[in-house]
Amino acid sequence: MNDVHDTLTAVVREVCAKLSGAEIRARADDGGWNAPLWAALEELGMTTIAVPEEAGGSGGTISDAVAVLQVLGEHAAAIPFAESCLLGGWLLARCGEPVPRGPLTATVAGDGLHVVRHGDKVGVRGSIRRVPWARQAEHLLVVHGAGVVLLKAGEFEVLPRTNLAGEPRDDVLVDRSLRADRDLGRGLTEASSVLDEFQQRAALSRAALLAGAARRALALAVDYAGEREQFGRPIARFQAVQQHLAAMAGEVLAMRIAVDAAAVAVGEGPDVLAVAAAKTTTSGSAGVVASLAHQVHGALGYTAEHPLHRTTTRLWAWRDEGGSEHAWAAALGRRALGAGPGGLWALVTATEAGR
Amino acid sequence: MTTATSGRERLDLWQLRPAVLPPELDQVRAKVRAFVAQEVSSGRITTRCDQWLGGWDEAFSRRLGQHGWLGMTFPAAYGGAAAGALARFVVTEELLAAGAPVAAHWIADRQSGPGLLRFGTEEQKRAYLPRIARGECFFAAGMSEPDTGSDLASVRTRGTRVAGGWRISGTKVWASGAHRAHAMIALVRTEARTADRHAGLTQVLIDLPDPDVHIRPILLLSGEHHFNEVVFDDVFLPDDRVLGAPGAGWQQVTSELAMERSGPERVLSTFPLLSALVDRLASAGSEASAPRLGALVARLWTLRQMSLAVAGRLEAGAAPAVEAALVKDLGTRYEGVVIEAARELGGAVPDLGSADPVALLLAESILHSPGFTLRGGTNEILRGVVAKELGVR
């Protein structure tokens, strides 16, 4: 399994290194996306990792997708990778539908969207807030109370919005009457479990991106501390700076292990404990890593000119996406409170309570 | 311009992967858990915090030995079960989480035994390992000295060559349990210091008690007696009391660090307090505490995965010292965070004389807390180890 990961990540790393030049980046940072990177990864079959081959995907595990996501997070890659394979592709496969080429996105309908079946039609009306990459997506999957609706580009209106990092998080308006076969939920036995699993996958995806971005923030800080000279020596020679860097490394390693362990757990089936712990850890550590990275970089890192902000704005954005550490911690805390006397240890170890 | 594919990418640090516990260890865990529950319910042991320092119970250690839960990683020929690091991980985390008294055998089981197994002569292994595995032979560690703390290579205790052996003179401090241990492995200087300050150090085995070894208590701030000052007054040790090669002491000591610094004891010293706190809040129906508790559970889950991942590397034969340093830095700080959360949420005043478990465990935890981030290498030293790996030191 590790060999597969190493090969996968090496390939993605290489593609990212080639296709994240300044010109492409500049466009992506302006609310656009990295179309060449998407095309290259799609060509390699990467964009449907973890989607079963029967559904037209590339197969592989959630851990494979999570390994790739960490590399993409490290490179601040502006593509809807998680939305396509771990969310949209998974939803389509789950509903027994083939997975089309092109970028997908997927979201959960809020109170603003109404999906009504009438005869051989399904009416989809209202708005959905902050849909990742809606303006680029060729297909939009919406998890709603009773199932999943498939919308195609052109069938919804996009109001451009962005997250703190300038990534598209668009508001979407829909007012359509579509053929009933767009309501994919019919094949689903338990719509509520799909919603739970979707939210876990969304959180795990952002956790993986965060782990990758944090690693990049550390690499930038280590390099900068080695280059920047004050008092006649590199600032890395100062113990105070070394302690900051080591503290960052601890958080970065914690984020990475949490994400990898959660991916292994979720590979066996939905696992709210592992996902909640991983997202709480990564979102919580993201702020620490971003602060320390900026502290080490001094005023230069605070500028638009220096690339650090591409990473730290993503840390600040992604920690709130897919559920913040506070939201997931509350869910986890409620489980701890409900674990029964002496039940906390069994909860943490995911074992049978035996005391 | 920096790229994410610089040399740093090949750092060993990033090779750490989660370890998945094999299903057969579920049975081991269930047995340990049931055993400890039985020990508690029968009143033979009581749940406390930081029991790997404070919980000296020789009879309990022998019962663990009877179940085959000490020296588990030793080969069968030396009384062990030839189990891997992951099996030992499961057993120790169950004992620690329950707050069971594991101090008597702790040093022997964690480091002296594995050190003997790795560097000892056949005769030494036969003399000690089966007794360690039976819970009948306890060890103390002789590392720090009055003028040697974080800078371990500065030890001054001397081993002087004499006919047929060595004469040892000097003073060791903080030696937990030395007043009750059957033996100590001490790090001594056997050659004059040179430019290579790590050269010329040797590990020696000293049986205790010994008329020329004077052991005096150093009381903790709580008044408890765990630490000792151990004075070697020209102690004669025959050649067969050297562990490993003379002069190789530094390499031998540092090879154990991954094991010594990464275990679940670096995370769980205050777990009994956390568990009691959750029970208290649950019975009070305190929904408002959920986010704070959830954050503690999430961090614990992650730290456990990190500790487990290091155990997985140990099982594979690696010695991931830097990863272990990070586990210890994060884990021991977490042990303190639990205390602060318990103060915030627990509604109890810390009190060693209280019948209220939260008040009692809180008091014990606070009074033991200074040690968490000191023992086994201060956290500042550990971050120095990490900084070196990052290439900035």
Q: pLDDT at residue A76 above 90?
A: yes
CA–CA separation, B216 and B229 (whole Å): 5
Residues of chain B contacting residue A226, judged by C-beta atoms under 8 Å apart: 391-392
Where a domain ends, among B248, B269, B297? Answer: B248
- Do B127 and B165 reside in the same domain of the chain? no
Per CATH, is A191-349 categorized as 1.20.140.10?
A: yes
Give whole-number Cα distances, B83 to A188, A301, B71, B73, B107, in Å: 46, 50, 9, 5, 18
Which tokens is B43 given?
């009143």
For B292-346, write each residue's pLDDT tens digit: 999 999 999 999 999 999 999 999 988 899 999 999 999 999 999 999 999 999 9
For B240-270, write each residue's pLDDT tens digit: 999 999 999 999 998 888 888 999 999 999 9
Q: Is B281–A337 a contact, with Cβ atoms under 8 angstroms apart?
A: yes
By CA distance, what is B299's nearest residue in A?
A: A281
- A102 pLDDT band, cuts 50/70/90, is very high
Q: Is A337–B18 a contact, with Cβ atoms under 8 angstroms apart?
A: no
Structural domain includes residue B343: yes
Backbone angles phi, psi at B274, to 5 degrees: -60, -45
Test the B interface: residue of A337, A347, A351 with most B CBs within 10 Å: A337
- Do B213 and B262 reside in the same domain of the chain? no
Amino acid at the residue A9 = T
Q: pLDDT at residue B123 above 90?
A: yes
- A2 pLDDT band, cuts 50/70/90, is low
8-37 in chain B: CB under 8 A from chain A: 8, 13-14, 16-18, 20, 26, 29-30, 33-34, 36-37
pTM of the predicted protein model: 0.96
- Do B260 and B383 reside in the same domain of the chain? yes
Query: Looking at per-residue confidence, does B376 or B366 come out higher?
Result: B366
Q: Does B293 touch chain A (CB under 8 A)?
A: yes
- Do B237 and B260 reside in the same domain of the chain? no
Q: Supply the mean pLDDT for chain A.
A: 93
CA–CA separation, B164 and B144 (whole Å): 27
- Do B310 and B241 reside in the same domain of the chain? no
pLDDT at B11: 60
Q: Are A349 and B98 in contact (CB under 8 A)?
A: no
Q: pLDDT at residue B87 above 70?
A: yes
- Do B109 and B126 reside in the same domain of the chain? yes
pLDDT at A351: 87
The DSSP element (H or E) to which B41 belongs, if any, is helix B24-41
Query: Looking at per-residue confidence, does A300 or B10 come out higher?
Result: A300
For A113-135, write each residue's pLDDT tens digit: 999 988 899 999 999 999 999 99
- Do B182 and B292 reside in the same domain of the chain? no
**Which range among A106-115, A144-153, A272-281, B182-191 shows the weakest confidence by mean pLDDT?**
A144-153
Q: pLDDT at residue B49 above 50?
A: yes
For A212-244, write each residue's pLDDT tens digit: 999 999 999 999 999 999 999 999 999 999 999
Note the ipTM here.
0.96
1-30 in chain A: CB under 8 A from chain B: 2, 13, 16-17
Residues of chain A contacting residue B281, judged by C-beta atoms under 8 Å apart: 337
Q: pLDDT at residue A189 above 70?
A: no
CA B278 to chain centroid, in Å, comes to: 26
Structural domain includes residue B4: no
Domain at B154, CATH number = 2.40.110.10
233-292 in chain A: CB under 8 A from chain B: 236-237, 239, 241-243, 245-247, 249-250, 253-254, 256-258, 260-261, 264, 273-274, 276-278, 280-281, 284
Contacts for A7 with CB less than 8 Å, ≥ 6 apart: none
The DSSP element (H or E) to which A211 belongs, if any, is helix A191-227
Q: pLDDT at residue B3 above 80?
A: no
Instruction: Spell out the domain ranges in chain A.
Output: 2-187, 191-349
pLDDT at B304: 98
- B2 pLDDT band, cuts 50/70/90, is very low
- Do B101 and B123 reside in the same domain of the chain? yes
Q: Stretch B22-42: mean pLDDT, rounded?
A: 96
Structural domain includes residue B87: yes
pLDDT at A52: 93
Q: pLDDT at residue A3 above 80?
A: no
Contacts for B185 with CB less than 8 Å, ≥ 6 apart: B112, B115, B139, B141, B142, B203, B204, B205, B206, B243
- A188 pLDDT band, cuts 50/70/90, is low
pLDDT at B326: 95
CA B67 to chain centroid, in Å, comes to: 21
Q: Stretch B12-38: mean pLDDT, rounded?
A: 92
- Do B155 and B214 reside in the same domain of the chain? yes
For A331-345, write each residue's pLDDT tens digit: 999 999 999 999 999
pLDDT at A169: 97
Give me the number of domains chain B comprises.
3
Residues of chain A contacting residue B5, judged by C-beta atoms under 8 Å apart: 13, 17
Q: Is A226–B391 a contact, with Cβ atoms under 8 angstroms apart?
A: yes
pLDDT at A25: 75
- Do B308 and B364 reside in the same domain of the chain? yes
Residues of chain A contacting residue B16, judged by C-beta atoms under 8 Å apart: 253, 256-257
Share of chain A above pLDDT 90, in %: 87
By CA distance, what is A255's nearest residue in B?
A: B302
For A259-280, write each residue's pLDDT tens digit: 999 999 999 999 999 999 999 9
Domain at B81, CATH number = 1.10.540.10
Structural domain includes residue B91: yes
Q: Supply the mean pLDDT for chain B.
A: 94
Work out the minimum CA distance from B302 to partner chain A, whole angstroms. 5
Superfamily, domain A2-187: Butyryl-CoA Dehydrogenase, subunit A, domain 2 (2.40.110.10)
Where a domain ends, among B248, B272, B288? Answer: B248
Q: Stretch B229-247: mean pLDDT, rounded?
A: 97
Domain at B266, CATH number = 1.20.140.10
- Do B385 and B262 reside in the same domain of the chain? yes
Secondary structure (3-state) at A23: helix
- Do B111 and B201 reside in the same domain of the chain? no
Query: Which of A75, A222, A337 is opposite residue B282, by nearest beta carbon?
Result: A337
Test the B interface: residue of A285, A348, A351, A352 with most B CBs within 10 Å: A348
The DSSP element (H or E) to which A22 belongs, if any, is helix A22-29
Q: Rg of the Cα trace of chain A?
A: 21
Question: What range defines the domain where residue B305 resides?
Answer: 256-389
For A28-75, write each residue's pLDDT tens digit: 766 789 999 999 999 999 999 999 999 999 999 999 999 999 999 999
